[in-house]
Structures are given as structure tokens and as C-alpha cells.
Amino acid sequence: MTVKIAEVIVDVAAYPVDRPFDYLIPVEMQELIECGSRVRVPFGPRSVLGFVVSIKNETDLSIAKLKPITKLLDIEPVLTSEMLTLAKWLKHETICYEIDVLQAMLPSALRAKYEKFVSLQVNVEQLSFLLQPYFTKTKKVNYKIFEKDQLLHELKIAIKQNQVVIENVVKQQGNIKEVRKVKINDSREALQSIYENISNRAKKQKLLVEWMMNHVDEVFEPKEILDEVNCSDAVLHSVMELGAAEFIHEEVFRDVFTKDVKKTDFLDLTEEQAGALKQVINAMEQKVPETFLLHGITGSGKTEIYLQAIEHCLNDGKEAIVLVPEISLTPQMTERFRSRFGEQVAVMHSGLSVGEKYDEWRKIHEGRVKVVVGARSAVFAPFENVGILIIDEEHESTYKQEDTPRYHARDVAVWRSKYHQCPVILGSATPSLESFARAKKNVYKLLTLKNRAVSHSLLPEVQIVDMREELKNGNRSMFSEKLVEAIRVRLEKKEQMVLFLNRRGYSSFVMCRDCGTVVQCENCDISLTYHRSNEKLKCHYCGFEQWVPTTCPECQSDHIRYFGTGTQKVEEEIAKLFPEARVLRMDVDTTKTKGSHEQILEMFGDGKADILLGTQMIAKGLDFPNITLVGVLSADTSLHLPDFRSAEKTFQLLTQVSGRAGRHSLPGEVFIQTYTPEHYAIELAKVQQYEPFYEREMWTRHQAGYPPYYYLALIQISHEDVLMASEYAGKAADYLRSNLSFNVSIIGPTASSISRLQNRYRYQCLIKYKVEPNLIDTFIQLIKIYRSDWIKKGIQLSVDLNPSSI
Ligand code: ADP
Ligand code: ZN
Ligand code: ZN
């Protein structure tokens, strides 16, 4: 028998081993092993996980010295050859370890502890004689038994013939989202007798059981009961001990997506929609890997185009990948797909438990579904015959992963489209500048939808409210008079409204309430960031810092202060202004538990509230016919982010959120409150015209030398000691300066916007370039220096090409 050698990428990051290593394939594994399978191999003194990336008969090393693979973890490979090729490309593209990419392609369950079972799919008689005895009494047998009895080869044949499948049961380490609830006894008689047996002195207990008698067999959260009956935990426990109720563990909304959805039919497309779809279908039929930029105003029916393109793709016997931003993976969105394609759809998002995600992945891996709708990482869905890839809201920055591997889902989608010779659709009402610029240069093909799909539905009318005027007129509240009036009218007419509080992460700035001036950096034209800890303002581009001024540098007013309000405060103010209004609040606090997001939207959809108040979360994807008013409480917050994309992000956000109003027959109205009404992002959001905004913003980017005219790379360096961090950031900058050409500008090192994170001080260098053939190699050399020397000293260094924020 010839020797067989496997090239294995080992799971040892943080070590200069980013290349395949040769291992001997033991004879008993030779028939079983395939590329894309995981193995255990000895590495130095350790045993590590690895991925087989190729199998060969020769090696340059001495065969005698090769170590053998110790264990084969998958008799069916978990990665396709496409994924192995993609990993090599992505590793280069994002400058990271190949192992990081390979791991990112797989569901995390495959990294967790799990037990493998072999599950029978057919009648036991259809199995080979060797396997039959194992399945006579049960349909599920522990995989270990076949390993022990050396029947893996037989098993593999059975898998190939779909007689059995391997199921990995994840040992959940406390990450099932469960809540403890109280289920009241299902017999009224039982409760009655408990009631009678309670001593009259235990008044609270009696009261509680009496209440329970009106809620036989119902389920409550403990706190709800305590509030209802106004009793203590101890009282509840004592009646539960008497058998009046029991604790149950309820997994929260586990089956949100598997509940039945009504089948819906394809809509007759408008002329615009039909024209766009035709071009996509042409590309599918001609097998052209074309990237389409579908630029359609909010409500223009982009989703309907996706659905019909997918239908075509499925009829062709191919599979479809749909990416949507995490935040808009609402039931509304996923149900639109499930209502057309039913059980053929897998849904992947971060709200699922590790086990659930793995189940969805397995459906794809085993070919049991044809469509995946998911967040960023679903771009790695292991379909083998992809017919179309769709990225909805393509401008969203969540498509870029912030951690290694720092890939952009759009780039991966385009790569896969070339591999499968199929089209990509990037859809948005407000495309990213980068994508629109590419469309203008015919790198992408532009498809435009100018009208709303529902006939007679028009874009809402947008009014800008100057909050400086409000203040002058003595109104210090966060609601302008106009907005208050508009809300009052809606409450009377029983129409619904959305109030949007523009808030983004940690960002905060100092603004004058009288003239709208925001304190900016002397050198950079970028808003200074407020640091509460030492009451200072800092520029995180150039490091400039100053004290918070006590009077406005423009108008000398002393109404100058830190800007930012929470949704909770807004809710309180609404309660004061409109005590009768029913408000649903949706923000990070109210959506912590699984399913709460869906629950809030469902309640709103059912008309159980008048006002939906929220942050970024409510800007997208909502399609409720009864919303006629959208109020943006403060357009300024995202405008003054210390980021060159702040105008673009503000325009996108305002357009998206405005698009929630008047989507059906009722006309919509939008109020945007701002202290800087003259800013072009706000003026152009008012007229809701993308192209003028695009032109204006491109001019700004050109002037300042930002993307899409220049590319950016961000080097970040951190250390527990601030001096070490700054010293090595300086070394990195020096290294880059002496190795890159003069056409490259290197800004920094400066302190990062979050200058200290998890006890590590952070510095960064920003690199701007147009064409620099030497760039990637220089980064790789820098990383080599870092890995061989700096890492020992506790330095951490990361390189982010095309960062989504800086
Ligand atoms: P977008 O994704 O562009 O914001 P949607 O696909 O959500 O737009 O469509 C907006 C609304 O128009 C939805 O309620 C949808 O059902 C409806 N719609 C879409 N296409 C059509 C059509 N051809 N005829 C009638 N209604 C349509
Ligand atoms: Zn500056
Ligand atoms: Zn001022």
C-alpha cells in the first residue's frame, strides 16, 4: 500500500505555524479521511486540532520522521473544497491565520464539547449486516461504539447512502436561554382544598391561593405573581410547597421560527421591479458572476425581487444565500422567506443557542434546505451549488467582522459568486459610497427602483425642526412643539408612531444648545470626544486634547454641555406629556432576553401600543401599515461621531427611519429634530434624495482623502502599560514609514477612541493609500516582528484593512 500523507492546518495561533504540516495517515484511516475533515495531531508535546487541507503521496521530509494523525474527528468532512480555497484567499486578504478563517466558517458548536450519535434514517433491514445489530433496539447509537468496534468504514458507506446521519449533541454549558416560571396547578379542586387547609392566620397565603384559583393551569413569571398579589417570595414558596403551583423551566421562544407561517403568493411585480428582476435572471441563466447594486427607495419592493430571484434559483435546482443585518432579522423579515419557501429555509442569527445554530447549519450541510437567511457569517453557508447571493441593506457596517478574521461579507459573497458563476445582489435604499462609486464605474451593475411598490404609497413628507429655535422660545424639553402636536393628533386618530432616539455606542460630544456648535479638533475637523473620567475632550485621530469649555467658542453662550439622552428618560417625558399614550420601548435594555425583540414588535403590530420608542434597532425593516408618524428626537448624535463616515451614517439612518412611515395606504409624516439643520446630511435627508447626497459626500471625501478615493488600514497596538503601548505604537509607525512609499500617508500613532479597554491602553496608526503594491507584505513583515519579539512583552497588535470605523 502506498503511503498517504495529509497536509494539516493546526489550531495553534499566536505561533509562527501558519502553514500546513505533513502527517502520516495511518492505514486504518486511509479509506476514511478526506480534505476538510478535522483531525487530532501531535504538535510538539501537545495534541491539537487540525484541518486536513490536502492529501498526497509524497513529502519532502523523511517519511520515517513523520508523525501519524492520532484521531479522525469527522468521517464526513465539515468543510467543502470551496471553503478550503476560500480560506486561503481570505487569509491573505485579511492578513490573519488560516486556522482563524477555517474556524470562523464553522458553527461554534463544533468547537464546544459535544457527543456524537449515529441516527438511523431508514428501516434497519436496509443497513449492511455488520451495522444492523446496533440498531435493532434503538435508532440512535453512540458513535464511540463504532469507533471501538472499528466499523467506521462501514459507517461512512451508510452515510453516503443516506441510511444514517451523524448528530452531534452539544453539551450546553449553561447557554440555553431558560427562564424559571411558575405553573399553577391545573385542578381547581386541588387548589380549593389547599386553600381550605391553610390556617386563617396566614392571610397572604390564602389570598395568593385564591388568586391562583382564578388562574388555573396558567404560567407566570414569579415576579408577575408577586406584583399581582402583593406578597413576598416566601409566601409564594410556602404555597408552592403545598402543591398549589410548580416551577417549570421554559426555554424562551425557542421555536419562534418554526411556528407555522401562512403561505404567501408571489406578487405581480411593478414595471420597475420586473425590469430589475429580468436582469438578475439573465445573469443567472447566462451564469455570469455579476454583482448588481439594487438601489431602491424604502418600500420599493426590493425584498419581493429577492424572493422571486430565489424562486428562479430554486427552480434551477440551485441554492440561495441571503444576508440581512443582525438587527433586522426580525420575524417579519424571516417570515417573508419562510412564507414563500417553507421548510426549505434555514435561519441563522446570533439569538439562537449554540445547539440551535448548529442544527440550522446541519440542515444546510446535509442539503435539507435550499435557502439560508442569516447574519454575516451565513455567507459561509456550505451549499455546494449556489445560484444567487443576496446582501440586503448592503451599507450596514455589521457586514464587516470586527475581530479576526476581519472579513467583509460583501467580499466573500463576490468571491463565492465567481466560484459558482452566479450573480450577487447588493440591495439598499442608501448604498454605501464605496458600492455606489463602483456602480458608477460599472464594476457593479446598477438597478434602480424610484417608486414605492404599493400603489398610491408615497414617500413621507419630512420636516426639519430647528431645536435652537425651540430653546430660544423657552422650550427646554426634548420634544419640539410641532412634534408634540403631531403626536397628539396621532393619538386622537388612533394611528401608530415611531420615535427614534439616535444614539450610538460610547460616542458623546459637547454641543452648544443655543447655536448648535459642536467642539471640534483644531487639526482634523472631526468632533472631539468627551471623556467623562477626566472631563476632557480628545481627538482620536491626532491626539489633540482640551478641557471642556464653559462657554461656546462661537456664541459665548453658557448652554454648552455634554449631549446624550437615554430612551428611559424619553419614556418618562412622554408619560408626562401624554399620560394616556401606550408606549413600547425597544433598546438594548428591553431586548436582552431571547425573543423579547420579536415580542415587542408583535405587540406593536397587534396595535397594543401607540408609540414604539427605540434606538437604531427600530430603524430598519419594520413594515407596519398603521405607522403614520416618525419622530427623530436628535439627528445630531450620529452626525458628530468622530468618524469620517458620520455624515453618511446619519443620512442612511434618517432615510431608513423615515421610510417606516406611510408604507401603505395611510400617508406618512416625519419630523427630524436637530441643532444643525443646515448640515447637508440633514437637508438632503429631508428631500430624501440619495444621489445629491452621494455627490456632496464624495466631494468631502475627496477633499479630505478618505474612502472611496483612498483605502484605509488601521493598525492597533495595546498593552497594560501605557508607556509600552505608546512606545511600540511608535515603533510600528517607524517601521511602516521606513518601508512604505511616500505616496502612503501614515497618521499617528494616536490614542484610540476607546483609549483603554479591559485594562489595556490602546494606540493606533491610520494608513491611507491608493496603490501600494508593497503594503500587504510590509504588514506581514511587521506582524512577523510582532510575533517573534513584541508578543513576549505583552504587546497586542492587529491590522484591519478597510476598517468599518476608526
Ligand atoms: P423594501 O425591501 O424595498 O423596503 P419591501 O419589499 O418591504 O420593500 O416592500 C414594501 C411593501 O410593498 C411590502 O408591504 C410589500 O409586500 C409590498 N410590495 C412589494 N412589491 C409589491 C408589488 N409588486 N405589488 C404590491 N405590493 C408590493
Ligand atoms: Zn485632531
Ligand atoms: Zn454657541
> For the chain, what percent of residues have pLDDT higher than 90?
43
Atom of ligand 1 nearest to the CA of 269: 23
Please choose from 454, 458, 658 the residue to mutate so as to test ligand 1's pocket, defined by most ligand atoms within 8 A of CB.
454
CATH topology of domain 5-106: GIY-YIG endonuclease (3.40.1440)
Q: In what order do the strands lie in the sheet with 627-632?
A: 461-466, 669-674, 627-632, 496-500, 611-614, 583-586
Average pLDDT over residues 519-525: 73
Q: Could you count the other beta carbons within 10 Å of the beta carbon of residue 506? A: 8
Element spanning 428, H or E: strand 424-428
Among 298, 303, 336, 690, the mutation site with the greatest number of ligand 1 atoms within 8 A of its Cβ is 303
Q: What is the pLDDT of residues 680-738, one digit of tens each?
A: 999 999 988 899 999 999 999 998 888 999 999 999 999 999 999 999 999 999 999 99
Domain range list for the chain: 5-106, 111-252, 271-449, 461-508+564-701, 711-801
Residues with CB under 6 A from ligand 1: 267-270, 273, 296, 298-304, 453-454, 623, 663
Most confident of 144-153, 422-431, 500-509, 789-798: 422-431
Collapse the DSSP code of 712 into the 3-class scheme (helix H, G, I; strand E, B; otherwise coil) and give the result: strand
| Nearest ligand, measured from the Cα of 675 | 3
pLDDT tens-digit readout, 380-398: 999 999 999 999 999 998 8
Is the pLDDT score of 631 beyond 70?
yes
C-alpha closest to that of 678 among 649, 635, 615? 635
Q: Per-residue pLDDT tens for 37-46? A: 999 999 888 8
Under DSSP, the state recorded for 200 is T
Q: Which CATH architecture has domain 711-801?
A: 2-Layer Sandwich (3.30)
Looking at residue 175, what is its pLDDT? 40
Ligand positioned closest to the Cα atom of 457: 1
Task: Among 3.40.50.1820, 3.30.300.10, 3.40.50.300, 3.40.50.720, name the CATH number for the domain at 271-449.
Answer: 3.40.50.300
- Range scoring the smallest mean pLDDT among 174-183, 529-538, 545-554, 580-589: 174-183
Pocket test of ligand 1: the residue of 297, 304, 336, 458 to mutate, having most ligand atoms within 8 Å of its CB, is 304
Binding residues for Zn(2+): 512, 515, 521, 524, 539, 542, 552, 555
CA of 540 to the centre of ligand 2 (A): 7
Collapsed DSSP state (helix, strand, coil) of residue 783: helix
**Per-residue confidence (pLDDT) for residue 544, from 0 to 100:** 80
Confidence band of 115 (pLDDT split at 50, 70, 90): confident
Please write the tens of the pLDDT for every residue from 135-161: 887 788 888 888 888 888 888 899 888
Q: Give the range with max mean pLDDT: 37-46, 133-142, 287-296, 576-585.
A: 287-296
Q: What is the distance in A from the centroid of ligand 1 to the CA of 663?
A: 9
Whole-number Å distance between alpha carbons of 695 and 437: 10
Closest ligand to C-alpha of residue 299 is 1
Pick the range with the lowest mean pLDDT from 36-50, 486-500, 744-758, 759-773. Answer: 744-758
CB count within 10 Å of CB 6 equals 28
pLDDT of residue 524: 60
Lowest mean pLDDT among 204-218, 314-328, 409-423, 557-571: 557-571
Which three three-digit cell numbers place residue 788?
Answer: 517573534
Percentage of residues in the chain with pLDDT exceeding 70?
92
Q: How far is the CA of 511 from the centre of ligand 3 (A)?
A: 8
pLDDT band at 325 (very low <50, low <70, confident <90, very high): confident
At residue 20 the predicted structure's pLDDT band, cuts being 50, 70 and 90, is: very high
Ligand 1 atom closest to Cα of residue 268: 23
**pLDDT tens-digit series, residues 276-288:** 999 999 999 999 9
**Homologous superfamily of 461-508+564-701 in CATH?**
P-loop containing nucleotide triphosphate hydrolases (3.40.50.300)
224 pLDDT band, cuts 50/70/90, is confident
- Ligand 1 centroid – CA 325 distance (Å): 19
Residue 748 or residue 616, greater confidence: 748
What SS3 state is found at 72? strand
Instruction: Tell me if domain 5-106 and domain 711-801 are identical in fold.
Output: no
Q: Please provide the average confidence, as pLDDT, over all residues in the chain.
A: 86
* Distance from C-alpha of 583 to C-alpha of 571, rounded to nearest angstrom: 8
Per the CB < 8 A criterion, the answer to whether 277 and 266 are in contact is no
H/E element holding 734?
A: helix 722-739
